[in-house]
Amino acid sequence: MAAGVVNIRRDVDDKFYRYRMPLLMTKIEGKGNGIKTVIPNMSDVARALSRPPTYPTKFFGCELGAQTSFDEKNDRYIVNGAHDAKKLRELLDVFIEKFVLCKACKNPETDLIITKNEEIIRDCKACGERTGVDMRHKLTTFIIKNPPKNPKKSKAKKATADGSPSPKGENGDAEVDAGAESDDELTKRIKAEAAELNAESKLAKEDWSADTSPEAVKARMKAVEASLASVSLVGGAADDDSEEDPDSPYAQLGRWVEENRDAGAVEIYKKADELGIAKKHSTVQVIAQTLFTENIVAEIEKYAPLFVKMVTSEKHQKSLLGGIERFVGVTHPSLIPAVPKILMAFYQIDVLEEEVIKQWGTHVSKKYVDRDTSKKVRKASEPFLKWLDEAEDTESEDE
């Protein structure tokens, strides 16, 4: 049955409302653990919203806590589990409110722009306002890693290529509107400082439940230093500075993070940058060992922007997994049973990739901890690895 057409803003009860989209349709496939919801007209809905179809699909996954998959060649968008059309339509309304409608005029004629500071802005073509989205939502990580195509930028290039005049502003100056690049240096600096202050104010309100008495800090530092001391001996130090040296930048960062957790994610990154190791993969390992407390699963989401910024390669991901191994295997052995939840938390914020986790989970290594501890941690990760395999098998069967 063909889908009907509805107003993009479903709260607007007006037959002549100009912004329309197809009614979202769903189809349940499979059974048991392999049951899933296919959205056959996701591309049409997304086209009406001027968004890639992967965005609303991933949004559904974030909101429902479900895995999603996309096959753009065959126009197939899937959310694992059985979800009725009514529920997904309600979630689509939330997506439209958060990532499509202009915050000022509530008009859906917006483009998403990612600034150099990795802030996502809704640029309204109707009223000209630029309004930010809620950067705390998990979807923002996915959008930053999979940025939308910028139609304005391509139009600007085309205009100059064919020799036609560029559009003029009120003062007769050429008005270049190609996203963040149009801002002058002062505006960029103001935005950067505002973003940092915003991140600090959010993270400064966190509840740090770790025992901060001198005795507790000393005990934790002893464990951390013991684990750091073996890094270069087991091949963990690919960088020039020896992490075995207590005065190395890695050891300095480890001590600083342990003693200044409440400084916030921005300050942690600044400290690593100040020490000249912000882009080194071993830095991620040190932060993973020293930043978290017993509430690691909840804290991962709070520090998602820090890890998204710092984990930029497979090597960084492996170092992060090494840091997790040490954190649960050396500093907090009681948290070994929580390894599946920890992996899931990093997987959901798109910091750890499926293939890297699988490779790590099936190869015991003495690189970061002793062999017995390595086995224990990987044994604990089996439920999550099994979940990844089952999700993959289900997709293969359907194809």
Gap between the Cα atoms of 11 and 91, Å rounded: 14
Share of the chain above pLDDT 70, in %: 73
| Residue 379 CA, distance from chain mean position | 27
pLDDT digits (tens, 9 = 90+) for 228-258: 443 333 334 334 444 456 678 998 998 999 8
Gap between the Cα atoms of 268 and 104, Å rounded: 34
pLDDT digits (tens, 9 = 90+) for 155-191: 444 444 444 444 444 334 433 343 444 445 555 555 5
Q: CATH for 206-398?
A: 1.25.40.180
For the chain, the domains span 1-99, 101-164+178-182, 206-398
Give the pLDDT band of residue 222 (cuts 50, 70, 90): low
- What global pTM score does this model have? 0.45
Fold of 101-164+178-182: N-terminal domain of TfIIb (2.20.25)
pLDDT of residue 200: 46
pLDDT of residue 302: 85
Residue corresponding to tokens 């064919």 = 162
| Residue 230 CA, distance from chain mean position | 31
Residues in a beta bridge with 21: 6
Q: CATH for 1-99?
A: 3.30.30.170
CB proximity list for 292: less than 8 A, separation 6 or greater = 299, 300, 327
For the purposes of burial, counting CB atoms within 10 Å of the CB of 65, is it exposed (0-12), middle (13-18) or buried (19 or more)? exposed
pLDDT of residue 4: 81
